[in-house]
Structures are given as structure tokens and as C-alpha cells.
Structure 1
Amino acid sequence: MHKTTLEQWALLEKVVESGSFAKAAEATCRSQSSVSYNLALLQKRLGVALLRPEGRRTVLTAAGEQLLARVRPLLKAFWYVEAHAALLTTGVRTRLDLVVDAIFPRGRLFTILRQFQQQHPHTQVNLTEVLESNAAERPEADVMVLTRRQDLTGRGEWLMNIDFVAVAHRDHPLHQQAAPLSGEDLAAYPLIRIAERESDGQDDSLDAAECWTFSTIDAAAEAVIAQVGYGWLPEERIASQLAAGTLKILPMTHGGRRATPLHLIVKDLSSDDRQIQTLTRLFSMPA
């Protein structure tokens, strides 16, 4: 007999996601006392403290992070079993897991999700946004939109290219120099990088005087706007700043514009899975 249950681990994950017992109770339609009791029992049976307070939030301890990381694949596998059971009994998938690289245009993504919701109102889409810096940590899902397609189970095809442009704030010293700019001109200033992205095959850090790495596209863009440095950013994500003139494209001799491919990858599921067919069709439609 196991000491713990998947239900207890799922509640732990919900508390971590929401940041409190009260919000986790609301999200799971339980009483707060029920959530507290189950997690207290979980920790007692394991003999390990999994949670600790941090300000107004409840967060994982170091031991909690390690253990929950090991349990998460089991929770996902169990969700797949339940989703497949619902598909067998009713023909309607209740959950669909989607992984999308963060460079995919946000406006287009939300349009796709809204259209999918209108066609399949009873199917919940669980979206995970990733930066593909480490293929080993990349989660798998029913449908994936990623830059890499090797070492993945399922069938995939090229979807689109994302344009990255070299930019700096309009008042940055680089825009005061004579054009065109060379690599030596750039090397005198900090380079802003996005989570060690290497999918375009370029490693600008070799030529940069110093590199500042940020874990999100938005943070990297804000750093460039604040004149911390210059960097290559997705053109679609900074369109408003370019239009307003806050950011300006650097006039480089070469390499100022780069294209990163995105691929649409689908796990090998039954051909009559209408929800996956709908989602892949929406992604494949012209913008």
C-alpha cells in the first residue's frame, strides 16, 4: 500500500500554482480545511516538509521541489488516462496539452485558442509556454509548436519563420555611430540575450564585451528599452515600440535580421481525434 495518493500530489501542485491554500481550495471546489488536511497528511507520511511560507504565498521547500518534479510526469500520465477514458466513453476529449515556444506571436496564439474554444467548448486546453534553451527539459504534449523537431515522438512539419531583428533604444550610442555597424562596433556594448537561445545557430556572446541573459522575451525587451544593451528580439513582439520609434533597428553590415523556424508537431494519436485535428488546422491556417 502506498503512503501517498496522486490526489494529494495534485493538490500540492495546485497550491504551488495558485500560491495559497485558499486559492487552491477554490480552484478544486474543496474546502480550505480539506486541502490543508490532505497536504499535512502527505507531509506527515513522507516525513519531509514540502511547503513553506514566503510573504503571502506558499512555496515549495527544496525537498518539495525535488519530489514534485518527480511526481509531475505521473500526474500528467494519469490525466492522459482520464482524458482517453472520456474519449472512449463520450467521444469528447476533456483535456488537450499544448506546448508553444514563447516566440510564437501572442495575438495569433490567442486567436487560435478562442476559435478552438468556440468549436470545442468542453475541451480544456492546458498551455505551457517554453523557451527552447534546453531540449532535455522541454515537456511533451499532444500538440507542440517548437523550433526543434528532432528527438520527438510524433509527426512534425515546418509551420512558419519568426523574424528576429537587432535593435537598440533610439538614444543608445550605437545609433549615434556612422552606419553600417560592424561586429566590432557592437562588441563595445552589452548584448541582451534571451535564455541562451541558440536555435538560429548564432552565438553572439563570442563577440560581445558582456552578455546579460534574461529568462523571458518581455524582460529582454524591457532591458533593451531601458538601454541596458542591444539585442536580437522577435520583430512581432516589439512592433509597437518600433512603430513609436522607441526602439530602432540597428543598421548592420550583415546579420541584422534572422529567421528562426517553428515546427508544428503532433503526437501519434488516433486519426479520429477531432480536437487535435481542429487545433492543428487552426495553427496551419494563414495568419
Structure 2
Amino acid sequence: MDRSELGDLAVFLVVAQELNFTRAAARLSTSQSSVSQTIRRLEARLGVRLLARTTRRMATTEAGERLLETVRPAFGNIEAKLSELSEMRQKPAGSVRITASKHAAEGILWPTVSRLLLEYPDIKVEISSDSALTDIVTDRFDAGVRLGEQIDRDMIAVRIGPDLRMIVVGSPSYLARSPAITRPHDLTRHACINVRLPSSGALYVWEFHHQGRDLNVRVDGPLTFNNMRMVQQAAVEGFGLAFISEDVAQEQLRSGELVQVLDEWCPFFSGYHLYFPSRRQQSPAFTLLVEALRKNVDASFSGAKWRPA
């Protein structure tokens, strides 16, 4: 195999990941016509069609999928070996791409990354905030951050935060003018602020547990958001009850802007974990970030209440 063939395979890998010539050309810092020409040359050399193309969409053919299964791990190993060379430098370097929910990105990842970059300025970190469950292999992320219960079993999971819980809160003014709340079923008589899930598009069902009993309640109210900070603000302004993470409500709970109800029905659940493929060899930059996040776990458990840094 000569150098041009290796280069063509690298171009094919990017096109197969993006399934779009324009986006692939942008990633490769070249023109769309050059990418298209490379794919045609590779298909002619192999004698098979690798991509099925129409005016609206693109998809890999069966032959393209087989080639992708061979090329992806091979180039992944090359990238890993090149990253290992940074260990020979006096200061570790390299790039890390991570996908996380907005809550995890702001409360756990960013405080750790900001401190890490001060110590290791040659490290580059990309954080993509997305509430959907991203396929980190397909989208070429080094790792993702999600709640422990949402992680696939074929991934390595590293705990990077304590247990969390969702709580029901309302403003003093709203609670003063509304019926008493002693059990979750009472919520059906209240104005509740709904959350639209980004992955399914459905409304989030409020989940409770008490004395071995699970109870899910579908709530109703005048407002629906897909942004938790807006949910919280609407609750502070008295528009209804909200079901939000306890850690983000601490300031308003201490100041009295929000009041918690149904405390005994709101259990803790497995907190945030960093997850990544078990077969992938990690770079020194990634290893440093994992260790820094692990150290934060011990620090977060030192207090009675968890608050992001």
C-alpha cells in the first residue's frame, strides 16, 4: 500500500462518519470536490461501491460498512500510538473530546478542566453539552458523562460525582395559595412545570420512591421547557412546582426563594460517571483528566450536601 492509498482510506473514514461531503471537507480542511474525487478513486481501485448517494442523503453500502469496520480500529490504534509519544514530552499534551449533559458539564467537568488547563496548558479539551444519549464511538468522542443508570454495559464507567436526587420545589407564594402536598398524587391538583426530553420528545414523568414503593406521576401545568434553568426560574417566580436536581437548587433553598416538599418521596440515585469504550487505548491527556475527576469524587463526599464547584 502506498501513501496515497492510506490517505484515501483516511478520507473515506471521515466521509463515512459524517455522511456528508461538505462536513467531511471542512474536517479535512479541503474542498468538497477533492473529497468526492478521492472517494470515486478509492471505489474504482477496489471495484466496489462504498457509498450510496442520492440528492438528499448518503449511506454506506454493505462493502462500505465492511471497510469501515476494518479502517476505524486501525486508524484508532494509530492515533493512540501517536498520543503515546506525548509521554516523552516534559509536559503532557493532547486533545480530549467529551460529551455531557449541561448539568454535568457546568457542575463537574468545567471546574475540573479549568484547573487542569492551568497546570497543563498544552492539553486541549472539547466539551459538547447535549442532553441526548450520544453514541461516543460513532461521533468520535473520547468519553461521555452520564448518570450511572444510563451507561451501556460494554463501557468502562468511572464514578466522578456523588449520588444525586430530584426534588419537588415551589416558591413560598405559590405554596401559600395552593392545596397542601403530602403525597405525590396531590401533584395532580397543582400547576407543575413540565420538561420536554430531548431524546424522545416526551414529557418527563416525575419519579418517586418511598418504603420500597415506586410511583410515577404525569403532571400538568401551564409551562413546558427543555431548559432546566428556565424551569427553576419559573418556580422561583411562582408559576408552579418544579422537579429539579437538589444540588442546583441549594442557593434558592437557603435563601427561602424555594421550598422543598415531598422530601421523603425523593430518593438518591447513582450520580455522574465518565464512560468510554473498553477496547480504546487512552491518551496521556485523557488519563490526566480521568484522575483529576476521580479526585473530585472524594472531595465532593466530604460535605453533607453535594454542590458543584
> 3-state DSSP class of the match of 2:261?
coil
* Residue equivalent to 1:192: 194
Q: Which runs of 5+ in 1 are unaligned?
A: 14-26, 31-45, 52-60, 64-75
> Which letter maps to 2:100?
V
CA distance in 1 between counterparts of 2:215 and 2:103 reads: 20
* Residue equivalent to 1:282: 292
> Which letter maps to 1:125?
V
CA distance in 1 between counterparts of 2:98 and 2:279 reads: 14
Deviations 1:188-246 (A, max 9, x none): 223423625579677x995345265532322322343344432211222233333443x
Please tell me whether the aligned partners of residues 181 and 252 of structure 1 are also in contact (alpha carbons under 8 angstroms).
yes
Deviations 1:7-54 (A, max 9, x none): 7998xx9xxxxxxxxxxxxx9999xxxxxxxxxxxxxxx9x9999xxx
1:1-287 maps to which residues of 2 (within 5 A)? 83-84=79-80, 86-91=82-87, 93-104=93-104, 106-131=106-131, 134=133, 137-140=134-137, 141-148=141-148, 149-157=151-159, 159-172=161-174, 174-177=175-178, 179-188=180-189, 189-193=191-195, 195=197, 207-210=217-220, 213-245=224-256, 247-252=257-262, 254-256=264-266, 258-268=268-278, 273-283=283-293, 284-285=295-296, 286=299
> 3-state DSSP class of the match of 2:155?
coil
Deviations 1:168-205 (A, max 9, x none): 23322x34346553334321223423625579677x99
* Residue equivalent to 1:54: none
Distance 1:229 1:8, change over 3 A: farther
CA distance in 2 between counterparts of 1:197 and 1:108 reads: 23
TM-score, length-normalised on structure 1? 0.60
* Residue equivalent to 1:39: none
Aligned sequence identity (%): 11
CA distance in 2 between counterparts of 1:106 and 1:282 reads: 16
> 3-state DSSP class of the match of 2:262?
coil
> 3-state DSSP class of the match of 1:144?
strand
> 3-state DSSP class of the match of 2:167?
strand
Task: Give the paired residue count.
Answer: 264
Please tell me whether the aligned partners of residues 136 and 143 of structure 2 are also in contact (alpha carbons under 8 angstroms).
no
Distance 1:206 1:239, change over 3 A: closer
Deviations 1:142-167 (A, max 9, x none): 33332133334224447411232211
Q: Which runs of 5+ in 2 are unaligned?
A: 18-26, 31-50, 59-71, 198-202, 300-308
Please tell me whether the aligned partners of residues 208 and 266 of structure 2 are also in contact (alpha carbons under 8 angstroms).
no
Please tell me whether the aligned partners of residues 183 and 262 of structure 2 are also in contact (alpha carbons under 8 angstroms).
yes
Distance 1:129 1:237, change over 3 A: same
> 3-state DSSP class of the match of 1:265?
strand
CA distance in 2 between counterparts of 1:226 and 1:5 reads: 57
Please tell me whether the aligned partners of residues 165 and 266 of structure 2 are also in contact (alpha carbons under 8 angstroms).
no
TM-score, length-normalised on structure 2? 0.56
What's the RMSD between the two structures over aligned residues? 5.4
CA distance in 1 between counterparts of 2:205 and 2:79 reads: 35
> Which letter maps to 2:116?
F
| Rg larger in structure | 2
